[in-house]
A = this chain, B = another copy of it.
Amino acid sequence: MAASAETRKVIVLIGDGMADRPHPALGGKTPIETAHTPNMDRLALEGETGLMDLIAPGVRVGSDTGHLALLGYDPYAVYTGRGPFEALGVGMEVRGGDIAFRCNFSTVDDNMVVVDRRAGRITEGTDQLAAQVNGIFIEDVQVFFKESVAHRGALILRGPGLSPKITDADPHAEGATVHEVQATDPDDAAARRTARIVNQFVRLSYEKLRDHLVNRKRIAEGLKPANIILPRGAGVAPTIPDFNSHHNLQGACVAETGLIKGIARFVGLRVLEVPEATGGLDSDVMAMGRKVAEALQEHTFVLCNVKGPDVAAHDHNPQAKVDIIQRIDAMLGWLLTQIDPASTFIVVSADHTTACSFGDHTGEPVPIVIWGPEVRTDDVAQFGERACAKGGLGRIRGKDLVPMLTSLMNVQEKFGA
């Protein structure tokens, strides 16, 4: 529906992995605490702040599980293995009930012994190899396969009577023979059927790939051929309530990585592309802001994920993290000139902590500010991990955020009389 002038709207601006630990190179401050962020600080001053555990205190959250929580889902119920989320991440359409796998292009010899699990870390031609098996049927099951980065790919099986309760084809070791996939419970007919289909898929991949032009060329160049596809980590895509109808919102997403876009699409958000968004430290953050402002015309909930802070932290680079946070703040400042403050809420937060010192995600909570009409302001005047710890929101959970917002937006159904 088209939103009326009085319709309350919200922008949820997520700096991916933006929260951090105090860092010696920053004089014991975190990157957010170090960065010059006048706009985030204004939101803190005028809004309500707190700390948020995406899942629970101390839990090291991924970007996928973190965003599921931010979108109101319980990751423990919805995150059914890496397979479906790998497939979402490479841009495949995933439907509830699909059985999905992470896969490697590998190299086997004539006896099905794995010579190289990563097919010589192949970087080119996997799209042509993937096309050999994508879209085929095995029995009555439709097979979708898409290449990912390097030797990686994702497999989806779609059809009736399938189960993820099967073992891996990938033996997880070189020198071992490709494993015959089996049901983990021999009495589970759906699992037996799924195992049979995966085994057929693996054999078929070998038949279709071994003499493929891409591999003949590799062999001629002394490279290992990507002559088989080995699935692992079967998971069933969860059947979840549609975000928009469940929360009475019209949701859009502006993001950079395939994984966040995939999750957004899967829950029912409209994904808006920004060609200038690279997912790296060179990304055009302001272009993302312009897309957010545009999205707000026709949507009441706009999630924006800027990947840069996480990239800088994985690189152990606190100064680069400070820089990208300042660019996000500048984009926020521009957004504040575009919105109607009488009807628009803005949330700034992160999907997890990524510690520059450790170079990976850690379990500390993230700071959060909710700014907009009628929020219960507090005394906090700066946005940051330690400043927000004194805020009026206290310590909340990721999955509480959407209900808190739909309440403020006056669109939530009442529970009871």
Interface residue ranges, A against B (CB under 8 Å): 21-22, 30, 51, 55-66, 75, 79, 82, 85, 89, 259, 355, 357-358, 360-364, 374-378, 385-386, 389-390, 392-397, 400-408, 410, 412-417
Contact = CB atoms under 8 A, between A and B. Distances in A.
Contacts of A375: 21-22
B415 A362 contact: no
Contact of A412 (B55, B363, B389, B415): B363
A364 B65 CA distance: 26
A415 B76 CA distance: 10
B376 A21 contact: yes
Nearest to A407: B363
A362 B406 CA distance: 9
8 contacts: A58-B404, A60-B415, A79-B415, A358-B410, A362-B410, A364-B407, A386-B392, A390-B392
Which 4 A-B pairs give the minimum distances between C-beta atoms? Answer: A62-B416, A363-B407, A58-B403, A65-B416
A416 B22 contact: no
Chain multiplicity (copies): 2
Among A64, A363, A395, chain B packs the most CB atoms within 10 A around the CB of A363
A407 B58 CA distance: 6
Contact of A395 (B22, B58, B395): B395
A60 B401 CA distance: 13
A404 B353 CA distance: 13
Contacts of A55: 415
Given A57-B397, A58-B400, A406-B58, A22 B412 contact: no
Contacts of A417: 62-64, 82, 85, 89, 259
A57 B370 CA distance: 13
Nearest to A355: B374
Given A57-B400, A63-B417, A75-B415, 4 more contacts: A89-B417, A358-B410, A389-B392, A390-B392
A361 B408 CA distance: 11
B377 A386 contact: yes
A22 B392 CA distance: 14
B394 A386 contact: no
B374 A57 contact: no
Contacts of A61: 414-416
Contacts of A374: 21-22, 355, 357
Contacts of A416: 61-66, 75, 79, 85
Contacts of A62: 414-417
A269 B362 CA distance: 25
A61 B374 CA distance: 19
B376 A412 contact: no
Nearest to A86: B417
Contact of A377 (B22, B63, B361, B408): B22
A377 B33 CA distance: 13
Contacts of A396: 57, 395
A229 B344 CA distance: 46
A376 B400 contact: no
A389 B400 contact: no
A130 to B, nearest CB: 21
Among A59, A82, A376, chain B packs the most CB atoms within 10 A around the CB of A376
